[in-house]
C-alpha cells in the first residue's frame, strides 16, 4: 500500500511546477465555488425554510462577510509563514482544512453553523495566498504580473465552472452531497501538493531585509484600490437570485439563470485577464476602473434578464485587467507583501456582498438604486487611488523589494 502511494506521489513529482500550480488553483476554485449558485437557495430551503429568499440572501452576505474578513486577517500571516516554513507544507495544511470545512457545512443544521464553518475556512488564509507566494518565488520580477494573470485566470476559470457544476450536482444529488463533493476535491488535491518539488528561492530579492513599516506604506495605495475593486467585483453575487426574481424569472428557473449569469461573467473575466494584463499600462488602469463604474451604474436600470446577462459579461471583461497589475506591481516577490495584497482582495470580497445586501434590505424601491450607486462610487474612488499612484506625474511605482 505504501509503495503504491509513493508511486502515485512520484508521478506528480515530475509535473512542471507552474502547470501543477495552475491545476491546483483551478480545481480548488471549482471546489470552493460549487456552492456559488445555490447558497441562498440552500439556506432558504434547508436551513431556515421559514424565511424568504431575500432574508436568506441577507444571511448569505453575512456568511461572505465572516469568511472573507477572516481570510483578510489571516492572509498576511500565511504569506509570512510560507516564507519561513515553505509553501508546500502550508499548501497541504490549507487543502486539508478546506476539506474539513466543507464536510462540516454538509452536515450543518443552522445558519450559525454555516457561518461558523465559513469563518473556520477563513482562518486558513485562502489557498490563493499560498499559490501567489509560490508563483512569486518562481517568476522573475519582470514576469510576475503575467504569471499572476494566468494564476488569477485559473482561479476564475474554476470559479465559473464551479457554480455550473454545483448547480447540476445540487439538482442531481442535493445541496448537502454537493458540499461533500467539494470536500473530496480538496482531499484529492493533497497528493499533487505532496508530490511537488518546490525549489528553494535563489533570487537575491527573496533574501531582502525583513518586511518593514516602509514596505507596508508602499503597498497601501494598491491595497486600498484592491479592496474597492474586489468589493465592486463581488457585491452583486448573493443578490443575483433576487435580482432575477424581480425581473420575472419563475422560481423553478432561478437556479438555471443564476448559474448562467455567474458562469458567463466568470468566463469573460477569465479570458480577458491574461489578455488585458499584457496590454494594460499604468496610464490606462484608471480608465478601466472608470469604465467599470459606468457599467455598474447601468445595471441599476436593467429590467430584462438577458440585458442583465450582457451587462455582467461586459463588467467581467472590463474589470479583468485590474487585479494582476495591482497584485504584482508593488509586491515584489515577498510572501508577506503578497499576503497583505491578497488580504486586501479578501477584504473587498467580504465588504462588497455585505454592503450590497445591507443596503438592498427587503428589496423595496429605491434600495436597489442605492446599492448600485454606492458600488459605483466605490469604483470611482478606486480609480482615483490608481490614478494618484500609477499615473500622476512624479508618482513612484517601485516594488517592495526595491524600496
pLDDT in tens, 198-242: 766 544 444 555 677 777 787 888 899 999 999 999 888 878 888
Position 310 scores a pLDDT of 95
Q: What is the mean pLDDT of residues 125-151?
A: 83
pLDDT band at 293 (very low <50, low <70, confident <90, very high): very high
The answer on pLDDT for 399 being more than 50 is no
What's the sign of the alpha-carbon dihedral 242, 247, 252, 256?
A: negative
The residue-averaged pLDDT of 126-149 equals 83
Binned at pLDDT 50, 70 and 90, residue 7 comes out as very low
Q: Is the pLDDT at 331 greater than 80, yes or no?
A: no
Average pLDDT for residues 346-374, to the nearest whole number? 87
Residue that wins the pLDDT comparison between 37 and 322: 322
Q: pLDDT value at position 380?
A: 96
> Would you say residue 361 has pLDDT above 90?
no
- pLDDT at 271 exceeding the cut of 80: yes
* CB 293, CB 376: distance < 8 Å: yes
Q: What is the mean pLDDT of residues 113-117?
A: 90
Span 349-359, average pLDDT? 84
- Range among 139-153, 165-179, 301-315 with highest mean pLDDT value: 301-315
| pLDDT at site 26 | 93
What pLDDT shows up at residue 8?
Answer: 44
Higher pLDDT, 279 or 384: 384
381-397 as b/e: b if 16+ CB within 10 A: bbbebbbebbbeeeeee
Q: What is the mean pLDDT of the chain?
A: 82
Residue of 114 and 10 predicted with greater confidence: 114
The residue ranges of every structural domain in the chain are 12-196+206-390
Q: List pLDDT tens digits, range 157-182.
A: 887 788 778 888 888 898 899 999 99
Say what the pLDDT of residue 125 is. 62
pLDDT, mean of residues 177-190: 93
Predicted confidence at residue 83, as pLDDT, reads: 79
| pLDDT value of position 5 | 43
Whether residue 312 is predicted with pLDDT greater than 90 in this model: the reply is yes
CATH code given to domain 12-196+206-390: 1.20.1250.20
pLDDT of residue 324: 86
Lowest mean pLDDT among 346-350, 385-389, 392-396: 392-396
pTM for the full predicted model: 0.77
- Supply the pLDDT for residue 144: 82
* Res. 393: pLDDT tops 80: no
Amino acid at each position: 500500500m505504501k509503495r503504491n502511494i509513493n508511486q502515485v506521489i512520484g508521478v506528480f513529482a515530475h509535473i512542471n511546477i507552474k502547470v501543477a500550480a495552475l491545476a491546483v488553483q483551478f480545481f480548488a476554485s471549482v471546489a470552493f465555488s460549487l456552492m456559488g449558485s445555490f447558497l441562498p437557495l440552500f439556506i432558504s430551503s434547508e436551513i431556515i425554510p421559514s424565511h424568504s429568499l431575500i432574508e436568506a440572501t441577507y444571511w448569505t452576505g453575512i456568511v461572505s462577510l465572516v469568511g472573507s474578513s477572516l481570510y483578510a486577517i489571516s492572509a498576511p500571516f500565511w504569506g509570512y509563514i510560507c516564507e519561513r516554513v515553505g509553501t508546500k507544507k502550508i499548501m497541504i495544511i490549507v487543502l486539508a482544512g478546506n476539506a474539513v470545512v466543507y464536510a462540516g457545512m454538509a452536515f450543518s443544521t443552522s445558519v450559525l453553523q454555516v457561518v461558523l464553518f465559513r469563518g473556520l475556512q477563513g482562518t486558513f488564509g485562502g489557498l490563493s495566498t499560498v499559490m501567489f507566494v509560490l508563483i512569486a518565488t518562481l517568476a522573475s520580477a519582470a514576469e510576475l504580473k503575467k504569471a499572476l494573470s494566468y494564476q488569477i485566470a485559473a482561479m476564475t476559470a474554476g470559479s465559473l465552472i464551479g457554480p455550473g457544476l454545483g448547480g447540476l450536482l445540487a439538482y442531481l444529488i442535493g445541496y448537502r452531497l454537493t458540499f461533500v463533493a467539494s470536500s473530496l476535491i480538496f482531499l484529492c488535491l493533497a497528493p499533487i501538493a505532496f508530490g511537488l518539488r518546490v525549489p528553494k528561492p535563489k533570487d537575491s530579492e527573496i533574501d531582502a531585509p525583513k518586511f518593514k513599516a516602509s514596505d507596508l506604506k508602499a503597498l497601501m495605495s494598491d491595497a486600498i484600490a484592491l479592496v474597492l475593486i474586489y468589493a465592486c467585483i463581488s457585491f452583486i453575487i448573493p443578490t443575483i437570485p433576487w435580482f432575477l426574481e424581480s425581473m420575472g424569472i419563475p422560481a423553478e428557473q432561478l437556479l438555471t439563470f443564476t448559474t448562467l449569469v455567474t458562469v458567463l461573467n466568470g468566463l469573460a473575466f477569465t479570458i480577458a485577464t491574461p489578455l488585458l494584463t499584457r496590454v494594460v499600462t499604468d496610464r490606462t488602469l484608471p480608465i478601466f476602473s472608470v469604465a467599470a463604474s459606468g457599467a455598474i451604474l447601468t445595471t441599476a436600470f436593467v429590467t430584462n434578464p438577458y440585458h442583465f446577462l450582457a451587462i455582467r459579461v461586459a463588467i467581467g471583461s472590463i474589470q479583468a485587467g485590474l487585479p494582476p497589475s495591482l497584485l504584482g506591481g508593488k509586491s515584489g516577490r515577498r510572501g508577506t507583501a503578497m499576503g497583505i495584497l491578497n488580504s486586501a482582495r479578501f477584504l473587498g470580497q467580504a465588504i462588497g456582498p455585505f454592503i450590497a445586501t445591507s443596503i438592498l434590505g427587503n428589496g423595496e424601491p429605491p434600495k436597489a438604486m442605492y446599492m448600485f450607486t454606492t458600488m459605483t462610487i466605490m469604483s470611482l474612488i478606486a480609480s482615483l487611488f490608481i490614478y494618484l499612484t500609477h499615473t500622476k506625474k512624479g508618482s513612484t511605482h517601485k516594488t517592495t523589494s526595491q524600496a
